[in-house]
Amino acid sequence: MTRGWRQLVVGLTAVLVLPASVDGGGPRQKDVLARAGRRVLQYQAELPHPIATETSVQRARGPFGHLVGVQERRLVSELGWVSAGSLPDLVGVRDVVEVDGQPLHGGERQRLQMLLHGSGPTTPDSVTQLLNEGARYNLAEGSRNFNLPTVALFFLHPDTQDRFKWSRQSPGSAAIWVITFKERAQPTIIHTGDGEPVFSKGEVEIEAATGEVRRTVLTVHIDQLSYTLTTTFGHVTSVDMNLPVRLEEHYVTPSGIIAGEARYDTYRRFDTSARLVQ
86 has pLDDT over 90: no
> Which range, of 10-14, 85-89, 107-111, averages the lowest pLDDT?
10-14
2 has pLDDT over 50: no
Instruction: Please tell me what DSSP assigns to residue 163.
Output: G
Answer yes or no: is 159 within a domain: yes
Percent of the chain with pLDDT over 90: 49
Answer yes or no: is 3 within a domain: no
Q: Which domain holds residue 226?
A: 24-269
Residues paired with residue 257 on neighbouring β-strands, in sequence order: 61, 252
Omega before 27 cis (within 30°)?
no
Answer yes or no: is 246 within a domain: yes
> What are all long-range contacts of 193-201, with beta carbons under 8 Å and residues at least 24 apart?
193/6, 193/7, 193/8, 193/9, 196/222, 198/8, 198/222, 200/152, 200/155, 200/164
- Do residues 270 and 117 touch, judged by C-beta distance below 8 A? yes
Average pLDDT across the chain, whole number = 82
Q: What is the pLDDT of residue 155?
A: 95
Pick left, alpha or beta for residue 262 (phi over 0 → left; psi -120 to 50 → alpha; otherwise beta): beta
* Cα 136 to Cα 139: distance, rounded to the nearest angstrom: 8
Q: What is the pLDDT of residue 234?
A: 97
- Do residues 260 and 147 touch, judged by C-beta distance below 8 A? yes
Which residue, 59, 220, 256, is CA-closest to 144? 220
Q: State the average pLDDT over residues 246-264.
A: 92
Say which CATH number the domain at 108 has: 2.50.20
pTM over 0.75: yes
Most confident of 23-32, 112-121, 231-240: 231-240
> Which range, of 14-23, 99-108, 225-234, averages the lowest pLDDT?
14-23
Q: State the average pLDDT over residues 29-58.
A: 94
Answer yes or no: is 6 within a domain: no
245 has pLDDT over 50: yes
Q: How many domains does the chain have?
A: 1
Answer yes or no: is 16 within a domain: no
Answer yes or no: is 87 within a domain: yes
Q: What is the pLDDT of residue 201?
A: 98
89 has pLDDT over 90: no
DSSP strand pairing (190-192 vs 176-183): unpaired
Answer yes or no: is 208 within a domain: yes
3-state secondary structure of 131: helix
Answer yes or no: is 181 within a domain: yes
> Which range, of 20-29, 81-90, 258-267, averages the lowest pLDDT?
20-29
107 has pLDDT over 70: no
Q: What is the pLDDT of residue 161?
A: 96
